[in-house]
Structure 1
Amino acid sequence: MTTGTVLFLAFIVLQRLGELVIAHRNTARLMSRGAREVGAGHYPVMVAMHTAWLLALLVFGFHQTLHMGWLAVYAVLQVFRAWILGTLGARWTTRIIVLDAPIVTRGPFRFIRHPNYALVVAEIIVAPLVLGLIWVAVVFTVLNAAMLYHRIGVEDAALRNKGRHADGQARI
């Protein structure tokens, strides 16, 4: 165990917990504006998958040394994360929230249809590689691909539904 490994893992845990607080707050605000949630049935499965990914990093990565090249890639991803969250502001959430509002087309949404999903795909691969856990990257990339296949379908259908638009990790 190195100090760098502990700091890296602590950063990921604290970041994810902070995002859950922000997502909960933003979801409540959106719902108070008349929004509704779509696709809530798969949300617990998604949370379980991300929790298992995080636990795998903690359990198997705790005694690993950091691979600095992958750590640099992970740092770049955090800049992308800040850009996404900054662009969406109070509209960012971990759920699919439908609100009658225009779709966000600025920031990374000008270039990528689902930038937050692209970021999560990259993080699920890169964070384990920082710790040399190739098998964690492979297993959770496959699980995440299945989850996103379903989730993006639900989200895109919500975007097409009667002129109403999805918030959160959607292209909004």
Structure 2
Amino acid sequence: MTFYWLITAVVLMQRGIELTIAKRNESWIKNRGGMEYGEEHYSWIVFLHAAFFAVLTVEVWLKGGAVAATWPLWLSAFVAVQLFRIWVLVSLGRFWNTKILVLPGEKLVKKGPYRWIKHPNYWIVASELVLLPLIFNAWMTAVLFTILNGILLLFVRIPKEEAALQLLVKSDD
């Protein structure tokens, strides 16, 4: 379980840093007239992520904290996804956030991975919800939260974000 706690501590520390950045960016956007959209579902996203770590911890504990025989593969993929996450964060700069925030009159970001992929951060989260549990053979957590995250994203979050992004006047084509 020591390896599990080490990995979890690193990921939770990363999330704490990201939430600090998101809060700072939220203030910057709102101070310039930006608006938040989709507030009604944001608490469900927070709950989903908190529940993920709780369920993962229980499943890993029930399985004795052992790592999968293929853990180096899953951990390497997870680290690669984190590098992709950093690229997304840097590409969006002050516009990166965990909430849906729109600053009317600004250009839609079309640099970094946004040149080729719509919503790359959601692909990252989906990957993490699979890869982190697979390091510890926590298949139930991987499947359950992939399904729950998919439902939340496909039917709620992405449509809200797409509608909010339509408010942007300019597009950087």
Q: Report the TM-score when normalising by structure 1.
A: 0.89
Whole-angstrom distance in 2 between the partners of 1:145 and 1:164 = 30
> What is the RMSD computed on CA atoms of the aligned residues?
1.6
**Native 8 Å contact 1:13 1:54 kept in 2:** no
Please say if 1:117 is aligned against 2:122.
yes
Please list every run of 5 or more consecutive structure 2 residues that lacks an aligned counterpart in the other structure: none
Q: What does 1:1-172 align with in structure 2 at a 5 Å threshold?
A: 1-2=1-2, 4-61=3-60, 63-65=65-67, 67-100=71-104, 101-149=106-154, 150-161=156-167, 163=169
Following TM superposition, where does structure 1 have runs of at least 4 consecutive aligned residues deviating by more than 4 angstroms? none
Kept after mapping to 2: 8 A contact 1:98/1:158? yes
**How far 1:155 sits from its partner (Å)?**
0.7
1:168 aligned residue = none
Distance 1:51 1:144 in 2: 12
> How high is the TM-score relative to the length of structure 2?
0.88
Instruction: Look up the equivalent residue of 1:21 and give its one-letter code.
Output: T
Q: What percent of counterpart residues are identical?
A: 38
CA apart distance, 1:164: 7.3
Aligned partner letter, 1:55: A
Deviation at 1:16, TM superposition (A): 1.4
Hey, what's the Cα distance between the residues in 1 that align with 2:57 and 2:94? 30
- Deviation of the 1:64 alpha carbon: 2.8
Deviation per CA, 1:99-143, whole angstroms, max 9, x where unpaired? 120011010001101111111111111111111101101000111
Q: Mark the runs of 5 or more structure 1 residues left unpaired by the alignment.
A: 166-172
Alpha-carbon deviation of 1:54? 1.5
State how far apart, in whole Å, the 1-side matches of 2:34 and 2:141 are. Answer: 36
